[in-house]
Structure 1
Amino acid sequence: MPELPEVETVRMGLEPVLAGQTFARVKTNRADLRFPFPENFAKRLKGARVLDLARRAKYLIAHLSTGEALVMHLGMTGRFHVQARGEAHPHLLGDYETETTDDGRHLHAVFDMESGARVTYADPRRFGYMLLIPEAELSEHALMRGLGVEPLSGGLTADYLAQRAAGRRSDLKAFLMDQRIVAGLGNIYVCEALFLAGLKPSRRAAVLATRGGKPNAHAETLVAGIRSVLEAAIQAGGSTLRDYRKANGESGAFQHTFRVYGREGEPCLRPGCQGIVRRSTQGGRSSFFCPVCQH
């Protein structure tokens, strides 16, 4: 499943083609993805101008001149291609599939823009989806209303984490992956952020707060670690695990700088640490950590 940096990389690739542009024609090649396409999907998009292309958690949101928002989720294998006017070949914006086919069987939606650009969406496993939601209802929609703070926004502070963590018995990893607390974080970047903060994934979330519910040094260090990991990953174009590609068709590069994720049995990269990276299972997902410098 793509996490925040991968979705943000795709957003940055789509923005020059969609933002400020108008849909000339829209075609869907099937009735549904994970959910059915909205009723009259193509007709409702035709003639609509994209005012802004945003990201909320792991969702892409195109705010439209019609007063609706096109909400898109990539699922596990969703990918976009963009072909600008005059270009011979499309650019791959996101690819998470294990098998790549060129026969068009998995091409499910085509968006032709008045600029001459074409955006296509393919999804072999069809776990992605697209919805049209009235702007007035967007913040209270079931997909959005429960989301926590954006980790790269000013809302993520040590005080916020401490308030939410105080008294919690759940472990740090589950706490950070709870989309109701921090939106967009997933397994990879939680493992990496906890390493930077020197905190073991299995430690109780309450470690971030004093008995009075105030933030402590752990909370401060963790906020800095989350920001550092996400910013570096976006700069690198995300992480390539299987076939993910960034906006220009190249592989994301952040996986080459993983400090713990996927490094079971390898030496810890923290200067002076003699630990060996371990893997454990939490909530059915692999956690990677150094047992020596993460406490």
Structure 2
Amino acid sequence: MTQRVKEIFPGSPGQAAAGRGAPPAPAALAAKVRTLAPSMTRSMQRVAEAVAGDPAGCAALTVTGLAELTGTSEATVVRTARLLGYPGYRDLRLALAGLAAQQQSGRAPSVTADIAVDDPIADVVAKLAYDEQQTLADTAAGLDTVQLGAAVAALAAARRIDVYGIGASGLVAQDLVQKLLRIGLIAHAPSDPHLAVTNAVQLRAKDVAIAITHSGSTGDVIEPLRVAFEHGATTVAVTGRPDGPVTQYADHVLTTSTARESELRPAAMSSRTSQLLVVDCLFVGVAQRTYETAAPALSASYEALAHRHHPRGTKR
């Protein structure tokens, strides 16, 4: 076996995949900040928080002005702009101006408050609904469709597909596998970490391995992906941390967004929403590419389930 070595561009692991393509649209800027801020240095976080919190004010500042406002350096401002996906500070200022215009028109609502222990249930519903909608919108805005298309193509042609996830991400992995099975693909989502690695050893060039991990650093998910990568399988990471360790072994990185974590809304809740959106995008893309075989397979599964719920001889 020839060990694969992924080319990593200068910077954090995974920036090679995450940083390609056009700069993010203004609507995706806030999502980018939420996604990347936890992995930034404290000085870069101050810059990111400033531009996300007051896009109109920061858009009016020069690079020197923003550095002074945040107590950082011009170099830090430029590095932050590049990490967020912009070639330079000028491009970031243009995005900030666009985001400010959207907010003024009411198309980019401000973030609601966290859920409080004494919130009426109606407020809980409203806040959760808003956060879920915002998470989905942020994920859609920040999703790299080139990477998504490449992952879909690999899945559609795969001999076998393994999906790795632990905890809440494991439930998402099971969801994807169930969908793929219904269109006739061979897919597995081993829940035991040892079994996941054992399965990964059997993967080859025509196979696909998908790791789902919000943190990007879950060892029980990274290890089977590493093994699959080194055995020649096409690898995909679905993660909220495009600079996380998991992306070192990912040919394609699909970034998810998440709502703000709070005491009553842990990351596992908010990350699941965005992961399910990405999973649905993968499934629909594969079903489109394999429609001639996927459609009959779906019909057969629907018919089988219908017979299960309505045995022969009973009324429907």
When normalised by structure 1's length, the TM-score is 0.26
Name the structure where strand makes up a greater proportion of residues. Answer: 1
Of Structure 1 and Structure 2, the greater helix share is in: 2
Q: Specify which structure has the bigger relative contact order, considering alpha-carbon pairs within 8 angstroms and separated by 6 or more residues.
A: 2
Structure ID, larger Rg: 2
Query: Please, what TM-score do these two structures have when normalized by structure 2?
Result: 0.25
